[in-house]
Structure 1
Amino acid sequence: MSYEMIALLMGSSLMLLLLTGQRVFGAIGFIGAMAALLLWGDGGSEMPFNASISLLNWFPLLTLPLFIYMGYMLSESGIANDLYRMIHVWMGPLHGGLAIGTVVLMVAISAMNGLSVAGMAIGSSIALPEMLKRGYDKRMVTGVIQAGSSLGIMVPPSIVLVLYGMIARQPVSKLWLAGVGPGLLFAAMFIAYIVIRCKINPAMGPALSAEERDIPKKEKYSLLLAGLLPLAIIFSVTGFFMMGLTSLVESSAVGAAAATLAALCKGRLTRKVMDDTLHQTLSVSCMFMWIIMAALCFGAVFDGLGAVHAIKSLFLDEWGLTPWGVLIMMQVSYIIMGMFLDDTAMLVIVAPLYIPLIISLGFNPIWYGVLYTVTCQIAYMTPPFGYNLFLMKAMAPKEVTLADIYSSIVPFVIIMVLGLGLVMAFPQIAMYLPDTYFAK
C-alpha cells in the first residue's frame, strides 16, 4: 500500500470515528497511535509517548489554564456583568446603542477569556433579554450576539491561536498581535452594519426611554468605574506583555491574579465562585491538553509518511492549482468542516497537512493562522450545522426560533466573508502590528 493511500485511510478513518460521536482527542489519538504501531511495529509506540513528553515539557502551555481561569473568574464573579451595565446606561440613548454596546462587550469578553463560548453565554444571558425587552428586532440581536461572540477566537488572549501556535510551532505573541487588526476590523464592520440598519429602520433598535436615561450622574459615573475594572484587567494582561514588562506566561499569571483580586475586593470571591471557576478551568484545560497531545501524535505519523509532499504534488502538479488556488480551497474546506466540527477538531485534523504545505508554498504561517481563525468564525455561523447556531438556540428564549437564528446570521456571514477577502488581499491588516513590534 502506498503512503498516499495510508494517509487517505487515516483521514477517512478519523472522520468516521468522529461521526460516531467519539471524543475528539480519543479518535485522533487512537488513529495516530494505531497507525504508528501498524506501520513501524513496537517502535511506533514511541511516537505517542514522545508527543506527550514534548507537550509536558512545553513551558508556554502554562498560559492555557491561567487564561481560562481568568475568564471564568470574571464571568462567575459577575465582573463581566458590570461592564454590560455600564454599556447599557452609556450607549442606550442611541438607536441600536445596546446592540453596538453588545459588540463592544463581546470584544471585551473575548479579551478576558479567549473562548467564543464564554461570550455567547454572557451575551445570551445578559444582553439578549435586555434588548428583547426593549423592543429590539429579535433577528438582528441574535445575529449580533453570535457574530460578536465569534471574535473570541481572534482577539488576544485567543485560546485557539495559542493552540495553533503550539501545533504549528509558531510564536503565540506574533499570532496574538496578528489577530488584533482583523478582530477590530470585524467589530467595526459589525457596528457600521448596526448603525446603518437602525438608521434606515429605527424601530429595529429603539433608544432607551427618557425615564430609563434619567438616572443620577453619580450613579452613571459609579457604573463607569465598575465597568472600567475588567478593562483594566485586560490591560494588565496584554498591555504589560506588549510593553515588554512580562513574558507570555507571566502575563497569564498576572491576569489570573488580577481577576481573583478584583473579585475579592468586590466581596464576590465566595466558595461557590471559586469552586465553579476551578472546576470549569480544570475541565476545559484538560480537554485542550488531551487534544494537543493527540494532535502531536497524529501529526508525527503524517509527517513520517511524507503526506505533505504527496498532497502538494497532487494539488500543484496533477490538479494544476496555483498557490492561491490551494489556499482558497483550504479555506473552503474549513467552512465545510465547520458545519460539523468545532475549531479545535478542525485544526487538529488538517494542521499536519495544511501548515507545512502553506509554508512550502511561500505563505506566512502567522498570516495563515489569522485566516484560519476568520474562516472558523464563518464556519461557526454557517447553516445547517454551524456550532454557534445551536449554542444560540440552546440559550435563547422560546420566542426565538431556529428559523430566526438561521436568518439572523446571513448579513453577518456576508460581512465576515468580505472581511476575510480584505485580510487575504491586504495581509498587512494582520501583519502590520507583529511586523512593526518585532522590528524594534
Structure 2
Amino acid sequence: MSYEMIATLMFSSMMLMLLTGQRVFGAIGFIAVVSALLLWGDKGGYDIGFAAAMKLMKWYPLLTLPMFIFMGYVLSESRIADDLYKMFHVWMGGVRGGLAIGTIGLMVLISAMNGLSVAGMAIGSTIALPELLKRGYDKRMVTGVIQAGSSLGILVPPSVVLVLYAMIARQPVGQLWLAGVVPGLMMASMFIAYIVIRCWKNPDLGPVLPAADRDIPRAEKLRLLRAGILPLVIFAVMMVPFVNGWTSLVESSAIGAAAAFIAAVLKGRMTRTVFENSVRNTLGITCMFMWIILAALAFGAVFDGLGAVKAIESLFTEKMGLSPWMILILMQLSFILMGTFLDDTAMLVIVAPLYVPLVGALGFDLIWYGILYTITTQIAYMTPPFGYNLFLMRAMAPPEITLRDIYASITPFVLVMVLALILVMVFPQIATWLPDYIYDK
C-alpha cells in the first residue's frame, strides 16, 4: 500500500471516529496506536506512544499551561472582570457606541487574563450583553461585538491554543505569544473602527448614555479606573520581566498566577469557593490539553515514520503543479470548512501532523503560520451556518436574540477578520516584527 493511501486511510478513519461522537484525543490516539502496531508490529509500534508521552513529560514550557489557566480563573471567579466593565461603562458611556467599544476593550483584557475564547464569550454574555441591550443598543451589533471580541482570546497572549501549537510545531511559546500581540491589537482596533463608523452613520445603533447614568462623583470614577487597571498591572508584572530577559517563560507564568491570587486576596474576594472552583477548572482544562497534545504527538510520529509529508508535498508541487502560496491558501480554506463542526484544538490536532511539516517544507516561517492558523480559526468559529461560536452565543443569549440575528450580526466582523488575515499574509512583519525585535535584543 502506498504512503498516500495509508495517510488517507488514517485521516478517514479518524474523521469517522469523530463523527461517532468520540472524544478528540481518544479518536486521534487510538488511530495513532493502531496504525503504529499495524505498520511496525509489536517491537516498534509500542514505542511510539511511549516516546510521545516521555516527550510531553519532558517539555518544560508545558508548566505555563496550568499557571495561566489558574490566573485566568482566579480573575474571573473573583469578579475582577465585573470591575473592568463598570470602568468602561462610566468612562466610555458618553461616546456614541462607547459601551460597544468598551466591550472590545474588556475582551482584550479578558484575553490577556485567560487565553481562552470561551471565557470571553461567557463573561461578555453575562456582564456586557444585558447592559448593552438595556441601554438601547442594537441587538445585532452587540451580539456581533461579543462574538468577535471573544475570538481574541486565542490570539492575544497568553493564548492557550498557541501553547498547543508550539508543542506540536516544536516552536518557542514566547515567540508565538509575542507574534500574536500586534495582530491581536490590530484586529481589536479594526473592530473599534468599524463600531465608530457604524455608530457615527447611525447613532441609534449605539446611543450615548444619559447624563444621569454618567454623573457620578470623581472619586468613584477614579476608584473604578484603578479597579480596571488592576488586570493590566498583573499582566505587566508577569510579562515585563520575561520580555527583558529577567525571567523564563515558566517563571513569568508563576509570577502571573501568584499576582492574580494576591490581588484577589487583597480585594477580599478569595473565598474557599473561588479557590476550589479555580483549582478544579484549572485541573480539568490542563488534563484535557495534555491528553490532546499526547495524542497529537503520537499521530505525528506515525506520519514522520511513514514519510507521508514528503509524499503529499510531491503530490501538490510536482504532480498538481501548485505554488507554495496556492497550497497555503487551500490549507486556510480547509480550516474554515473544518471550523463549521470542530473547535480550534481539534482542528489543530487533526491536521497538524500534515500541515505543519508541509508549511516548513514549503519554506514558510512556522511562527508566522501559527498566527495565520489562529486568525483563520477565529474566522471559522464565526462562519455560518455551523460556526462553533454561533451556537455558543445562541446558548448564552436571551430569548429575544434569535439564531437569525446571530448570523446577521457576525457577517461584518467576519469581513473585518478576513481583511486582517490578508494583511498578515501580505505583510508577515505584522506578526514577526515584535518577536524578532525582542529576541534580537
TM above 0.5: yes
Match of 1:342 in 2: 343
Given residue 242 of structure 1, which amino acid in structure 2 is its aligned partner? V
C-alpha contact (below 8 Å) 1:334/1:379 kept by paired residues:
yes
2:409 aligned with 1:423: no
- 1:240 CA displacement: 2.1
Q: Distance in 2 between matches of 1:319 and 1:343?
A: 29
**Runs of 4+ deviating beyond 6 Å:** none
Match of 1:28 in 2: 28
Please show how residues 72-91 of structure 1 align to structure 2 within 5 Å.
72-91=73-92
Q: Distance in 2 between matches of 1:29 and 1:39?
A: 15
- 1:57 CA displacement: 1.1
Match of 1:403 in 2: 404
- 1:239 CA displacement: 2.1
Question: Residue deviations 1:370-403, cap 9 Å, x none?
Answer: 0000000000001111111011111111111111
Given residue 270 of structure 1, which amino acid in structure 2 is its aligned partner? T
Q: Distance in 1 between matches of 2:241 and 2:394?
A: 38
Question: Residue deviations 1:67-114, cap 9 Å, x none?
Answer: 000000100001121111111110111110000000011011001111
Match of 2:265 in 1: 264
Given residue 65 of structure 1, which amino acid in structure 2 is its aligned partner? P
Match of 1:191 in 2: 192
Match of 1:323 in 2: 324
Question: Residue deviations 1:302-323, cap 9 Å, x none?
Answer: 1111110111011111111000
2:257 aligned with 1:252: no
SS in 1 for 2:231: helix
2:285 aligned with 1:275: no
- 1:147 CA displacement: 0.4
- 1:230 CA displacement: 1.2
Question: Residue deviations 1:238-295, cap 9 Å, x none?
Answer: 2221122221001110111011101100111111101111111111110000000000
2:46 aligned with 1:37: no
Given residue 284 of structure 2, which amino acid in structure 1 is its aligned partner? S
Match of 1:53 in 2: 54
Percent of residue pairs identical: 71
Match of 1:169 in 2: 170
Given residue 54 of structure 1, which amino acid in structure 2 is its aligned partner? K
C-alpha contact (below 8 Å) 1:156/1:238 kept by paired residues:
no
| Aligned residues between the structures | 440
Question: Residue deviations 1:121-167, cap 9 Å, x none?
Answer: 10000000000000000000010000011011111111111111111
Q: Which runs of 5+ in 2 are unaligned?
A: none
Match of 2:214 in 1: 213
* Two-structure CA RMSD over aligned residues (Å): 0.7
Match of 2:63 in 1: 62
Q: Distance in 1 between matches of 2:244 and 2:125?
A: 35
Q: Distance in 2 between matches of 1:295 and 1:57?
A: 16
2:12 aligned with 1:12: yes
C-alpha contact (below 8 Å) 1:308/1:356 kept by paired residues:
yes
Q: Distance in 1 between matches of 2:8 and 2:238?
A: 43
Q: Distance in 2 between matches of 1:244 and 1:78?
A: 32
2:124 aligned with 1:107: no
Match of 2:355 in 1: 354
TM-score by length of 1: 0.99
C-alpha contact (below 8 Å) 1:128/1:141 kept by paired residues:
yes
Q: Distance in 2 between matches of 1:145 and 1:90?
A: 19
Given residue 293 of structure 1, which amino acid in structure 2 is its aligned partner? L
Match of 1:305 in 2: 306
- 1:439 CA displacement: 1.6
Q: Distance in 2 between matches of 1:41 and 1:8?
A: 20
Match of 2:130 in 1: 129
Q: Which runs of 5+ in 1 are unaligned?
A: none
Q: Distance in 2 between matches of 1:83 and 1:377?
A: 24
Q: Distance in 1 between matches of 2:440 and 2:61?
A: 22
Given residue 28 of structure 1, which amino acid in structure 2 is its aligned partner? I
SS in 2 for 1:409: helix
